[in-house]
Amino acid sequence: MSDFRMERVGRLIQEKIGSFIVEGKIKDPRVDAFLSVTKVEVSRDLGYADVYISSYKTDAGLKKGVAGLQSAAGFIQSQLNLHMHIRQIPKLRFHEDTGIKNGFDMIKKIEGLSGESREE
């Protein structure tokens, strides 16, 4: 399968899962609107899709959210099947991505350093 098609399928899965989270279609209490889908990597045979989830909440909150999404993976796949027009919906595997939280931490450190230099 072409790389372009895999990227398109990945972007569509990312968009749909993100909208399911924001709209509250996933009823698991561990999943909340503070989670965001940062990246989706689809295997060449469309057998699997690795979905990376990020949040600026605590690491424990992110772990719970990812566990909730993994628990609801079957429901999410069935919803994707209704909204996407492809022959095979990949099996979803959810992973933690600490990129957003790391970015916020870096900004706080930079602001702390710039505040110290102003005091001097």
pLDDT digits (tens, 9 = 90+) for 62-116: 899 999 999 999 999 999 999 888 888 999 999 998 877 788 888 989 988 877 6
Domain count, the chain: 1
Of the candidates 8, 10, 17, the one whose C-alpha atom is nearest the C-alpha of residue 80 is: 17
- Give the Cα separation of 52 and 93 in Å (integer): 9
pTM of the model: 0.82
Q: 52-57 — which CB contacts under 8 Å span 24+ positions?
A: 52/94, 52/95, 52/96, 52/97, 53/94, 53/95, 53/96, 53/97, 54/96, 54/97, 54/98, 54/99, 54/100, 54/101, 55/100, 55/101, 56/100, 56/101, 56/104, 57/101
CATH value at residue 87: 3.30.300.20
Q: What digits encode the pLDDT tens for the residues 3-33?
A: 888 899 999 999 999 999 999 999 999 998 8
Domain with 49 in it? 3-119
Beta-bridge partner residues of 52:
39, 95
